[in-house]
A and B are shown apart, each in its own frame.
Chain A
Amino acid sequence: MSEQYVLHVNGNDHGVRDAWLGESLLYVLRERLGLTAAKGACEQGECGSCSVQVDGVLVCSCLVMAASAVDQAITTVEGLAAPGSPSDVQQAFVDTGAVQCGFCTPGLIIAAHDLLDRDTDPSELTIREELSGNVCRCTGYGRIIEAVQRVAVARRELS
């Protein structure tokens, strides 16, 4: 592969040119494609603020070599819902007050979507374990867990 490649992000193809191929997916998303929902903090897979889905699998984008994600479907928070029409998880975070400084929020939103798409009725312990890779230093997690539980209940009532 030469020093240019194409990433498939949120349903759109994005060309990446003149980039060092060792760059992380997080760096490319933020600095080259202008998709800033995924946040950069620890850059070593500890904090989860850079969480995205690659082919439907939740990963830390800081630990994905961007050039290795060619031909894969990358989903960021920007791809979950259109501006102005939040997803059910995003709305629940607002309604419960699960957002304080907001830095961890995009990672938590995509991790919560990932969890709720696999498990329609997660226990509190399951939610805590599944979100253990997303560090929040403001909320104490109570309202985040409440938000996830609210969505789980609402989705079950709809189905």
Chain B
Amino acid sequence: MESLPLLSKAFFVVLFGTSLRASTPLLLAALGETYTESSGVLNLGIEGIMLSGAFGGFVVALFTGSLLFGFVAGIFIGLALALITGFLTITLGVNQIVVGLGITILASGMTSFLFRILFGTRFPILPVVATKLRIPVLADIPYIGGAVFNQHLVVYLSLALIPVLHILLYRTSFGLKVRAVGEAPISADAGGVDVAWVRFACLLLGGALAGLGGAFLAIGDLSFFVSNMTLGRGFIAIAIVMLGKWNPYRVFLGALLFGVTQSLSSGLQVLGVNVRPEFILMLPYVMVIVALVVIARHTLLPSAFGLPYRRGEK
């Protein structure tokens, strides 16, 4: 043990490494939800989509022996649930909160039900170890190197998505349409933008990323599935989007903050600090509330947030 245990190398590697990994499901879901919310749709169903992605990803990876198929399954399940959400909220224009909670309740029941049907009371663990991609030179940087540049492929993918999605939202005509549809759907419609199409596109992007995030949680970060394992991560992702004010870079910082709080438990265990586990487990949720109060009070939501749009109706 070194004289200052807080600065010990093991602590840093564990803390940063697990933080980055733990924040990846959140980051993916929050990046997608950034688009969904910008276009004026609140998708409370992403909690359910993440859970379904976790379940589908785990089952497919277990039966095919391939993580890649598991991730693809997560994406497709996310797309399918987003399609149902879009049909109800965009096409039919019914209450987004009701639909989102409905999707979440359905996903919670359905995944537990199917898991029991498939595995009974057994809890299988994925035999394939998550394949890490070690980037040669960079991984040798002391402290950070081993943590940041020795990660799963999906972690790099989610990091690469941040600038891409930022440019797409703030530097392209598609991004302009997304924001216009969220702020003033009537004007956007008058300007020739297909409001329903843009919202569908954002919802599907959000669904795909939340599904992938859920799959990563089950088969990338961990290697098993348990009932309701997302533990509110979808809802935290929604809060992170509000904290990040629809800016993918700030959304990343928010996700990382919660990754840090979530992985504090493993970091503190390395240090040998003895804190009641319940206090560590509740930390991310307390952090959400505190961060919202400090950063996001009176955040201006997109003007048409949560409202359905139908031509000819106010």
A binds B: no
